[in-house]
Amino acid sequence: MADTPLLHGEFGSYPARGPRFALTLTPEALHVQRLRPKPEAWPQGGLVPLAEVSGCRTLRSCSPNDSAAYLCVYTYPRSRRGGRRRAARTFRADRAPDYKENHAEAQRWATVLTCLLRGVPLPGDLEITPELLPRPPRLLLLVNPFGGRGLAWQWCKNHVLPMISEAGLSFNLIQTERQNHARELVQGLRLSEWDGIVTLSGDGLLYEVVNGLLARPDWEEAVKIPVGVLPCGSGNALAGAVNQHGGFEPAIGLDLLLNCSLLMCRGGGSPLDLLSVTLASGARCFSILSVAWGFVSDVDIQSERFRALGPARFTLGTVLRLASLHIYPGRLSYLPASSSASNGAPSLSQALPRAASELALAPTPASAPLRETHSPLHRSVSDLPLARSAHSPTELQLDPSPSPPHSPESCLLSPNAPLTPGPSSDPAPANSLAYSSLMERVLQGSEPPASCSPLIPSDLEASPGLLASLATPCSPDSPASEDPQGLVVPNLSSSPPDPGEAPPSSKSQASPKPGSLHGPKDDLLPPLGSPLPPGWVTLEGDFVLILAQSPSHLCADLVAVPNARFGDGLVHLCWVRGGVSRASLLRLFLAMERGSHFGLGCPQLGYATARAFRLEPLTHHGILTVDGEQVEYGPLQAQIHPGLGTLLTGPEA
């Protein structure tokens, strides 16, 4: 039952002279009620839904006279204005006279809470031990620093990395430097060492990752690795669908990023349908979102010149295209979905697989020329010890603080007590300083009075050497530099790019080479140009737009197919025929924000579910896009491959 109490106990607060609380943990929420100095009948902030919790950890005081243990819970509640804000709540376990018993109680709460967050079943006898927790996943984060008007790198540092560290996840972060860089990276990775690949950008970076996985000779195994997206781009269609799948209210911008980050920290995945698209030249690519022709593709590509506006570029592009509305003659043929395929949407709560061995990157073959600027770990940040190779000259090894980053126990410090790698007398390398600075920002709770002792990982001894190291600030002579946001960043061979710079390459017509992808066979499609088999439906005439959609969202705030679900095995075809007025078309897109456009009764709007389709433009000029990327113009055909991949979506609402 969702309201069944799992744990109940009395805790103090940090600092110790604060109020005392009664905590009750259920499968859905943490209930907090103040007991002293005055009980609260209607406590404010007393209900903490687990959907708003990123993680927790146990702590201890540096003071040898303090026998209490501490439980810190990291939450992201909504403010009165609707946006999320970070809040760290620290509770003091002090009912027992000695530290060992208090630590056992705090650890029991941390273990049960982490099990609930990650979907780990609890034993019936409720004998809780830390051994219940699986090893946290190791994530490869790929960041497009030019995404979101250049805000992607700042959002990553200030929001994503702290939340991932709060959740106890391990990661390696790489900044992409050019178009198709992510595709090249995943083609050369030893994927057995990773539990997931997550992109921080718009939808285009994940498109590169998926097509890179399917270009590998071992594509059947490679495509099984879970992939995820944290929205830092303009469109963010897939993130909008993930946000809806997780039960959150529609969101854009930073709120959408925080929602998707919370879901990713919870773990779990959903089947990802991939659309195999064959172009006129015989080139083949795989779509995770949509194939568009007409109005939608025109707006997407022609609004590129307004990219500096962020998501507003689509609004401006829509207005401009409405002013010069075009009609496109063409032919759409599709294989209707069977009744069994269109009934319901199967769901899957799939945990991340375990890594087979220590984290490593596949070494560059000896025969391959070495180009330092294209090293797989160029511009990388990590909290994992990586195997150094002569082929990775720019690799960073970020040694975590004495408590492993995936341990439920880490550090929470007073602002006056900076975090250092530990009591070692050796100078800390720049990479350790970078990780330490990040952990200090991540794990810092509400600022205690200067007289309070700082808290440290509960598995460390509060030795004089450690206390001295906590009081020692980072050396100004260290080869690390502190950015204006306070995060110590190692001096890499190529520093993070200026957000004001133009990206090295923008969207352009770039189709994959024929035979460059492996992947499953399209058994429902005859050769392009051959007659279609019986059972296909053909529509011919003038169209304003044709859209073949897999997930529900066209962008973060446009729900093109409200009934689409992850893993439903369908390609959702939408079209608008010629003859629609500009006002009617505008009403359709305004209603699409709520997903209510099919209820307007527009006679030119059509919809069908299919397993395969063929699109044949009958004009010589136009724009075709696959997942927002322009491809060669001409006939194309596609087939849906249900559940071919796995998408990190978190638990379903």
What residues act catalytically? 203
Burial grade of 541 (CB within 10 A; 0-12, 13-18, 19 or more): middle
Q: Angle at CA 318, nearest 5°, toward 317 and 321? A: 85
Q: Can you tell me whether residue 34 is helix, strand or coil?
A: strand
Sign, CA dihedral 592-593-599-603, equals negative
How far apart are alpha carbons 265 and 649 in whole angstroms? 10
Q: Could you tell me whether strands 553-555 and 558-559 are parallel, antiparallel, or unpaired per DSSP bridges?
A: antiparallel
Task: Write out 298-328 in H/E/C secondary structure.
Answer: HHHHHHHHHHHHCCHHHHHHHHHHHHCCCCE
How far apart are alpha carbons 173 and 502 in whole angstroms? 22
Q: Can you tell me whether residue 134 is helix, strand or coil?
A: coil
Beta carbons within 10 angstroms of residue 635's beta carbon: 17
Burial grade of 249 (CB within 10 A; 0-12, 13-18, 19 or more): exposed
How far apart are alpha carbons 590 and 557 in whole angstroms? 10
How far apart are alpha carbons 600 and 597 in whole angstroms? 6
CB 633 within 8 A of CB 617: yes
- What's the length of the chain? 653
Contact residues for 368 (Cβ-Cβ < 8 A; gap 6+): none
How far apart are alpha carbons 436 and 422 in whole angstroms? 10
User: What spatial distance separates the first Cα and last Cα of the chain, rounded to whole Å?
Assistant: 16
Q: How far does CA 162 lie from the centroid of its chain?
A: 13
